[in-house]
A = this chain, B = another copy of it.
Amino acid sequence: MRNVIVRDAGAAVEGIKDGHTVMVGGFGGAGLPKGVITAVLDKGVRDLVVISNNAGSSDDDLSLWFSAKIVRKIICSYPRSAQQFAEQYRAGTVELELVPQGTLVERIRAGGAGLGGFLSPVGVGTVFADGKEKVTVQGHEFLLELPLHADFTFIKGHLADSLGNITYNKSARNHCVVMATAGDTVAVEVDRIVEVGELDPENIVTPCVFVDRVFTRNL
């Protein structure tokens, strides 16, 4: 039977390479898979393109990747209170693609759902329309937004079984749920692993088809 449980965060990030695009779940600390932060650093990769809502604001999050200068570009909605990122940004050593949060999530969903893009009313008439194709439908103007996809997706769940079915805890679902659909390799850090059959089929949020690796953190 399928078993996606891996030993630790190191095994969860195995195969990550220079230049990869990496999605990292979380809104603030909720949904952030902290175990992979150092595991990725340990792999010695660089030039990463990171897709995440924030750009790190404490000593156990994406800030560490900016300090270590392994990020070439970040696609995110709210890189405030992000001191390490801000330093790299001011120095011109990291590229920022700022995306409205709802558009960011929807672009990730499009990537996971096999869509070529979508028409959004968000950003029309603002700097967020710059460089984007405008499409008018039934008299309303929209921006054509393109899908996002990643080589690796790292997210935080609550419970998992060995098949890879995932539940989340409270507001920690945030971007994790769509990110789980949009990575070539999807690795999920969870609080606890349960027996197959323990999760109520009605309450599984991410079905196992989307999940490649599951691990618990060595605390």
Contacts and interface: CB of A to CB of B under 8 A. Distances in A.
Contacts of A170: 201-202
Nearest to A135: B116
Interface in A104-152: 106, 110, 113-121, 135, 137-138, 140, 142, 144, 146
A21 interface: no
B116 A142 contact: yes
A117 B116 contact: no
Contacts of A142: 115-117
26 contacts: A106-B113, A106-B115, A110-B118, A115-B118, A115-B120, A115-B121, A115-B142, A116-B118, A116-B120, A116-B135, A116-B140, A116-B142, A117-B118, A117-B119, A117-B137, A117-B142, A118-B118, A119-B144, A135-B144, A137-B146, A138-B146, A167-B202, A170-B201, A170-B202, A202-B203, A203-B203
Interface of A: 106, 110, 113-121, 135, 137-138, 140, 142, 144, 146, 167-168, 170, 200-203
